[in-house]
Chain A
Amino acid sequence: METNTRRIAILMVLPLVVLFVALTIFPFLFMIGASFTRYNLSEWRAPEFIGLKNYIKIFQDDGVKSSVTFTILLVVIALPIEMILGGFIALFIQNLVGERIVRSALLLPMMVPAVVAGVMWKMLFNFEYGPVNYLLSLFGVQKLSWLGDIGYSRLAIIIMDIWQWTPFIFLILYAGLQTIPQDFIEAAKVDGANRWQILRNVELPMLQSLVSITLILRLIDILKLFDTIYMTTFGGPGYATHSFSFYIYKVSLSFGWDVGYGSALSLVLLAVITILTNILINRLRLWEILEV
């Protein structure tokens, strides 16, 4: 390539690179430094080097334990329900009257900003006047303290997550199903396969990579979960509904200004997300976008 063209090509990516270096590398280096110090903005004293103490604290902290437990709950309860429900709807609405309308309607929850979703569910789950409790009362169930009880508040966040993210999974799987050549399905039918066998032996294998990308994206999103929790339970009662991001917020910005410990927690979160992202990049061979 001509050197002049090469130079312009580099100049064109420069704004992008400068932006990312300035706003991500700097915070990253700062956090690495801060994570080894005792540095609390509410204490009015200079940062003091304390070695690995912040990292050791992570393993003894009840807040961390609680937020990890809650994250695991979301992953093992909400995520499978979302996958199954999303997949079910994707199969269900195929060839149904009004397929397009249903698809557009189901897009809505995904597009509502998470804060607004929080507002909606805060009203729906209201103890005294909420429609959810009213619906339950029709079946003779006593009013439930959705946002005040440990078990129910966790369930409430799980329901919100299912509400918001099932449509996303549905759309991905729906789009994926459209790409499967009809010939394959016809061939299976000719061979005498029933609906279930077609799903298991033809459709699912072809959707495999889509399913894995969806899972990884959702895992990362669950780690980042913040807005809906802030608006509804505020992590309560106690530490019951702290997502990992929400706990970092509490430690470093809301209740304390513990920069040192907050940085250590952030780096752990960053490490987990980086691992997941690398799996994603390798799984999907994302760099192939360059070769095509």
Chain B
Amino acid sequence: MTILKISLKWMVLLLILIFFLFPIYWLVITAFKPSQEWFTWPPTVIPHRITVENFTGGGGGFYGSLTTSIENITPYLRNSIVVALITSIISTIIAALGAYSIARFKTGGRRLISWIVSIRMLPPIASALPLYLFFKNLRILDTWWSLILIYLVFTTPFSTWVLISFFKDIPKELDEAAYVDGASMWQTFIHIVLPLSAPGLAAMATLAFILCWGEFLLALILTNSAAAQTLPVYLGRYITGWRIAWGPLAAAGIITMGPAVIFSFVAQRYLLRGLTFGAVKY
């Protein structure tokens, strides 16, 4: 009876794990499959030969395929890194300043807090069209700055929210002691509060980076050349065409997925806290 129960438990666990992990496994192995194995029936779950041709080129491809590798991914990778990095730095600075002011002095009160939550919930598609026209007039369409500006709107509320609760956790007495010693509010913030909240700031920068890294819709609309297009848009290009080159597609998928997954694990505690407005702390 108990043996039956235990084996049933493991069966269920196995099924759950297969359902949630197999798609990722499939992407990873496809990226390392030679072109002959992209399309086979039955599909090869364990590739017969492992290759890096899909990343570096030199593979055969097949009749009618437009792409055989992702050698030309470099500019898109560069754009992704630059945009995500600059956004995460600026957004963390803006968020830290605002969050400290809100946490300690209730600046803006209930109204500002609610506004920040609403902006965090904003559907990207609703601002895409007006911003497209706006940026067109500013002549910054298809540049890094068009993406950085709009990504700031989506990352800053998230970071601000988590940092408010982070600053709240720092005892107020520390600030007050500094005031008594004659430090100004600004000096207190720079020399006392910021160093103490360094881990939180780093986590917020990381999360902002991830949010920008995977963003697709706005990048698709606001950029149209290798000068500013990011990895998700590059990934979208492979979908077109009458037969899709699975190997390079999966290879590009791995590169797009990699940093996001790795960084998420680093900052997972704060990720969940931010996504649920502090309802979950673990």
Contact = CB atoms under 8 A, between A and B. Distances in A.
B168 A292 contact: yes
Interface in B114-171: 114-119, 121-134, 149-150, 152-153, 156, 160, 164-165, 168
Given A27-B134, A102-B13, A273-B122, A129 B20 contact: no
Given A113-B213, A134-B43, A273 B113 contact: no
B185 A115 contact: no
A104 B265 contact: yes
Nearest to A5: B185
B232 A113 contact: yes
B278 interface: yes
B275 A15 contact: no
A120 B43 contact: no
Interface string A74-95: 0000000000000001001100
Interface residues of A toward B: which range? 35 or more
B114 A105 contact: no
Contact of A286 (B109, B113, B250): B113
B205 interface: no
Given A102-B17, A129-B40, A8 B280 contact: no
Interface string B31-64: 0000000111111010000000000000000000
Contacts of A28: 130
B28 to A, nearest CB: 10
Contacts of A96: 9, 13
A2 B67 CA distance: 65
A30 interface: yes
B250 A123 contact: yes
B185 A8 contact: yes
Contact of A23 (B126, B127, B213, B261): B127
B216 A266 contact: no
B105 interface: yes
Contacts of B261: 108, 111-112
B5 interface: no
Contact of B39 (A129, A168, A213, A223): A129
A190 interface: no
Majority secondary structure, B binding face:
helix
B20 A13 contact: no
B221 interface: yes
Majority secondary structure, A binding face:
helix
A286 B277 contact: yes
A30 B102 CA distance: 30
Contacts of A123: 26-27, 30, 246, 249-250
Interface residues of B, number: 104
B125 A9 contact: no
Contact of B272 (A104, A117, A120, A171): A171
B264 interface: yes
B83 interface: no
A113 B272 contact: no
A235 interface: no
B186 A120 contact: no
B256 A6 contact: no
B27 A115 contact: no
Contacts of B265: 104, 107, 111
A154 interface: no
B279 A92 contact: no
B168 A112 contact: no
Nearest to A243: B125
Contact of A16 (B40, B45, B97, B214): B97
A281 B98 CA distance: 20
B27 A167 contact: no
Q: Which of A13, A110, A172 has the most CB of B within 10 A?
A: A13
B16 A130 contact: no
A276 B122 CA distance: 11
B235 interface: yes
A269 B123 contact: yes
A1 B176 CA distance: 13
20 contacts: A9-B105, A15-B98, A16-B94, A17-B108, A19-B153, A23-B127, A23-B150, A26-B130, A107-B268, A111-B265, A112-B257, A123-B26, A128-B41, A130-B43, A224-B123, A226-B124, A270-B122, A274-B118, A289-B113, A290-B109
Interface of A: 1, 4-6, 8-10, 12-13, 15-17, 19-20, 23-24, 26-28, 30-31, 34, 89, 92-93, 96, 102, 104-117, 119-124, 128-131, 134, 163, 166-168, 171-172, 175-176, 178, 209-210, 213-214, 217, 220, 223-224, 226-227, 230-231, 245, 248-249, 252-253, 259, 262-263, 266-267, 269-270, 273-274, 276-278, 280-281, 284, 286-287, 289-290, 292
Given A13-B102, A20-B119, A119-B239, 4 more contacts: A13-B97, A27-B129, A116-B232, A119-B250
